[in-house]
Amino acid sequence: MFRRLSRLLLPNPFDRMLKRTKGKRVLLGWNRGLGDIALGLYAMVQRIREIIPEAEITFLIRENLRDGFTLLEGVKTIVAPEWKRGEPYDVRATLKQLKLDPENFDLIVEWPNPTEWVRWQRGRVVPKLKWNQEHDQLWKKFNLSEEFTYIGVQAVAETQYGLWRNWPLERWDEFFALLKNQPKARVVLFGFGNEPRFDHPMIVDLRGKTTLFEMISVIKNRCSHLVLPDSGVLSMAYYLDEIFPIQVVSLWGDPNHGILKQNVRSPNPLLVHRPLVAKERNLSTVSAKSVYEILFPEARPFAPLGKCSKGGTSGPVKRVGCLILAGGQGTRLGYSAPKGMFVIKGETLFERIVKKIPKEVPIAIMTSPLNHEETVGYFEKNGNFGRKISFFQQSMLPLLDEWKRPLGLEGPDGNGSVYRRFVESGIADQFAKAGVDLVTVTPVDNPLAQPLDVGFISFHRQSKCEVTIRCIERNSPEESMGVLVEREGKIAIVEYCEIDPKEMRAVCEGGRLKYLYAYTGLLALDLAFIRRAAGFEMPLHWVRKEILKEGRKVLAWKGERFLFDAFEGASSIGALCSPREECYAPLKNREGPNGIEAVERALS
């Protein structure tokens, strides 16, 4: 209690010593962990520069921290050869042994305490570790074939804390056994020494064989996934200020530590983080299966949705807001403007959807940085069609070349960022103040959609689900659409490309398609669910697309988040099957089943 009160009432001791310093030469001793470079010392360096703008910052460190401190931009280091981790030290005595005069420094901080001195930075400061790209090719010395998918693993943290910090060895063995189902998967072991020993043929054991730079080069250039305890390796990978795609599964006995306590996103926009927290500070409660299914979600079993409610119910349409997804361009239609401005039978797609919404109902439209200004200008020109409309932009992500390196271009990240961007924009709060507790979602390219369908909204309310999906029946075995399935007792969406084509074409007795119910993108979501989903870490799905770069067409990897991936976090999910002719006629291409003529016929 006293320590807590003193932190609240007394001046910060670090700030006080910095403000009293007359010169600019600052020396800090450090003989603790690698992870603290990002999680504490980064903020201390930032604070020094705020108070002493011209500061010359030096750290006195042990030898095996030398490489790590090069990632801390703009600081110098002095190595104390005799220092060993955890042993007490005397900075001034060490300087004299190295024939350096302590008087050369205006401030010596012998025992920095970032845990207490920079508590203010948690949830605010994003540590950024600077990587020298000259080290990028270091991975090549380890003969890691490009035909495999590599999972970087640290089985034991450098600091031993028992079951709350380390996953038990039997769990690692179970995890490695599951990986036998993935013939193209290989494990790269990182760490110190060669213990514990694992007898699994897919393991490449690099423990004790890499420098820090070599390890980071392997992670950055060869690993698709990492499975790590709370450790220095985790904080180094998480806060590396580089752009590269990677999924990180972290294992926690106690979430009040490390990067979870720091509580900020990685500076790498392509890093996807899934923390798994143990029960009762015992990591043995985290199963190998749970880790495996995060890395390979396609391994999670599912079955076709067997039956679905049909026909909505009647009831009042109150406390509802509408959200229109309109981040795309009309490229596939041969149209260079925002897709929502494409004219079909005398009206734009925007106009057709917005005019179906009563004037008193609040509307939010998600655009992208590629079409935002033009979209907003279009609505301003048309007086918002007399409606109350707010706009927000979806996120952008770097596009990658064929080797998964940044192309220097960005693209919209898919509709999965809708939750976070909707909440961050403040529009969720605006809806709540207007009394809204339910939001319907409508893709702009579906002019047949009814954003405020009474039967659909009433069904959602009466079913008391957080998420309700409006689906249709597939009209042929060849129709390529995402389908509704059952997974672990809940409805989920699976893209058609993730299902065996034979299964997608399969027909049950009586002629009914095995995968019958198709996803339309029409949704009813509780506002409370949207707020919660804003904090979900959404997976990235990588697709290859043709883009223009400097006037020529090139193939690029584009990362996209899917709105329906958040449904897993819903407490309950419902589905209502509607006749296609009432709600679904998407405009995807100039020609074909979802082409201009087909949509015009559906609107007639």
pLDDT of residue 330: 83
Is 301 a residue whose pLDDT tops 50?
yes
Helix, strand, or coil here: 174?
A: helix
Predicted confidence (pLDDT) per residue in 59-114, tens digit: 999 999 999 999 999 999 999 999 998 889 999 999 999 999 999 999 999 999 99
Q: Compute CA 592 distance to the chain's CA centroid, rounded to the nearest angstrom.
A: 35
d(CA 486, CA 300): 11
Q: Quick one: average pLDDT of 448-453?
A: 96
Is 316 a residue whose pLDDT tops 80?
no
Token code pair at residue 153: 């693993």
CA angle 281, 276, 532 (to 5 degrees): 115
Q: Compute CA 596 distance to the chain's CA centroid, rounded to the nearest angstrom.
A: 35
Lowest mean pLDDT among 158-162, 339-343, 449-453: 158-162
Is 448 a residue whose pLDDT tops 90?
yes
> 2-121 in CATH: which number?
3.40.1380
* 94 membership: H or E segment, kind and range: helix 91-97
Token code pair at residue 597: 């003529």
Q: Are 321 and 363 in contact, with CB atoms under 8 Å apart?
A: yes
d(CA 406, CA 510): 51
CATH 3.90.550.10 domain range(s) in the chain = 309-603
pLDDT of residue 11: 73
Token code pair at residue 175: 């995890």
d(CA 322, CA 389): 9
d(CA 241, CA 129): 5
Q: In whole numbers, what is the pLDDT of the chain averaged over residues? A: 93
Q: Are 448 and 547 in contact, with CB atoms under 8 Å apart?
A: no
Q: 133-300: which CATH architecture?
A: 3-Layer(aba) Sandwich (3.40)
Phi-psi region of 428 (alpha: psi -120 to 50; beta: other; left: phi over 0): alpha
309-603 under CATH 3.10.20.30, yes or no: no
d(CA 117, CA 604): 69
* 275 membership: H or E segment, kind and range: strand 271-277
Q: Quick one: average pLDDT of 170-180?
A: 96
- Number of neighbouring beta carbons within 10 Å of residue 494: 20
CATH 3.40.1380 domain range(s) in the chain = 2-121
Q: In the structure, what pLDDT confidence band is assigned to residue 552 with cuts at 50, 70 and 90?
A: confident
Tell me the pTM.
0.91
Q: Are 562 and 414 in contact, with CB atoms under 8 Å apart?
A: yes
33/210: higher pLDDT? 210
